[in-house]
Amino acid sequence: MQNQRVNSHAEKQRRFLEIDGLRAVAISLVLLFHYEKEFFPRHGLFSFGWSGVDLFFVISGFVLYYQVKTRYRRDGKTSYLQYLQNRALRIVPAYYVSLLLTVLFFGREKLLSGTFLMHLGFLHIFDYDAGMSIQPLYWTLAVEVQFYLFLILMAPVLTEKHGMRWLLGLIGMTILYRLALPVFAGPSSHTGLILGNILPGRIGEFSCGMIIARIFTERGELMNALRRPEIAGSIGILAFAVLAGCWLVWHTMGDSFLDFWLTNALFYPLVGTGYGLLFLSGMTIPLFKRILSWRIAVFAGTISYSIYLWHVFSLMLLNGLLGGIAGFLISALVTLVISTTSYYLIEKTFLKMKVS
C-alpha cells in the first residue's frame, strides 16, 4: 500500500512536469507570434501563435480546478482566504513590477493615471482604450483574475457530484453567449472585442481544462482507458485535426456578418477543445509525455509567466535596434535574461510565502 502511494505521488509530480512542458509550448507560440510580427512580418508562419493564450487558459482551468478540488475544498468546506492569498502571491508581484517598469520606461505620463489604476485593479479589460494604452497583452491577466474569482465562488457547485454537468454546461453557455454578441456589437468593434474576451466569452476554454482535471481526479478507470495506445493516438490525431482546422479557418474566413457570427460563436470554443485534446495527449501519449518532461521544456514552462510579462517589453527596450535573425536572437536572449531574473528575484520569492 505504501509503495502504491509513493508511485501515485511520483506519477502526479511527473504529470505536473508535463504541464510545465505544455506551458513552454504555449509561451513559445505567443513569443513567436509577436517576434515574427516584429522581425519577419511577411512570413505569417506563426500568425496563429496568439492562440497560445488559449492553451494557457486550458492549463489554468486544469491546474486551478485540481488545486481547488484537492487542497482548497475539503470536507464540504472551502478555504476562500487561503486560495485568494496564494493566487495573489502567484500573479500580482511580477505583474506589478512589469507594469511599473513599462510605464516608467515608455509612458511616465500614465503613472498614477486612471488607466494605470485600472491596470492595478485588473479592470483594464472593461475599457478598450485603457487596455491598449500600456501593454495590450495584459488583458489576459484580467481574464485570469476573473476566472480565479469565478472558480472559488462556484467551487461548491463545480467540484461536487454534478460538477461535470456544470462544466459541460459552461461550454454551451459560452457558445450561446457568443451567438448573442453580434446583437450588441458589430464585427471588430471595440465593444465586441471587450465582450468577446471577458470571462463569459472565454470560460469554455477554462472549462476544457477543468473537465480534464475532473477526469484526472475522479475517473481513474477512464484515465487508464485513455492511456491505451490506440485511444491516446486517436486523441492526438483529433487534437491535430481540430487545431489545423482552426488555423485554416483563421486564415480563410471573410469579413461578412455571417463569417463573424459563426466564427465568433464557435471558433474560440473549438480552439479550446483542440488544446484540451492536446493537453490530454500530453498526459496519455508516452513519447509526448517524455518530450514535455525534458528539462529545457520544464524550465521554459516554469518561467513562462515571466517570459509572457517581459517578451514585448524587451522588444520595446531594443526599439528596432536590429532586424531579421540578429534582432530575433538578441531580443530572445534579452527576454530570457530578464525573465529568468524576474522569476528568481520576484516570482520565487513570493511563491515561498504561499500557504500550504
For the chain, the domains span: 20-351
Q: Are the C-beta atoms of 210 and 163 separated by less than 8 Å?
A: no
Give me the amino acid identity at 205.
E
Q: Are strands 73-74 and 77-78 parallel, antiparallel or unpaired?
A: antiparallel
Grid cell at residue 315: 522588444
Question: For residues 270 and 121, what is the distance between their CA atoms, to the nearest angstrom?
Answer: 31
**Which pLDDT score is estimated for 187?**
59
Enter the DSSP assignment of 73.
Answer: E
For the chain of 356 residues, list the mean pLDDT of each consecutive stretch of 10.
42 68 97 94 87 97 95 88 96 98 94 94 95 94 98 94 94 92 76 90 96 92 92 96 91 69 81 96 94 96 98 93 91 97 97 87
CA dihedral 122, 125, 131, 136 (to 10 degrees): 90
Determine which helix (DSSP H) or strand (DSSP E) holds 99, and give its type and residue range: helix 80-106
Distance, C-alpha 111 to centroid of its chain: 28
- pLDDT confidence of residue 266: 85
pLDDT on residue 193: 86
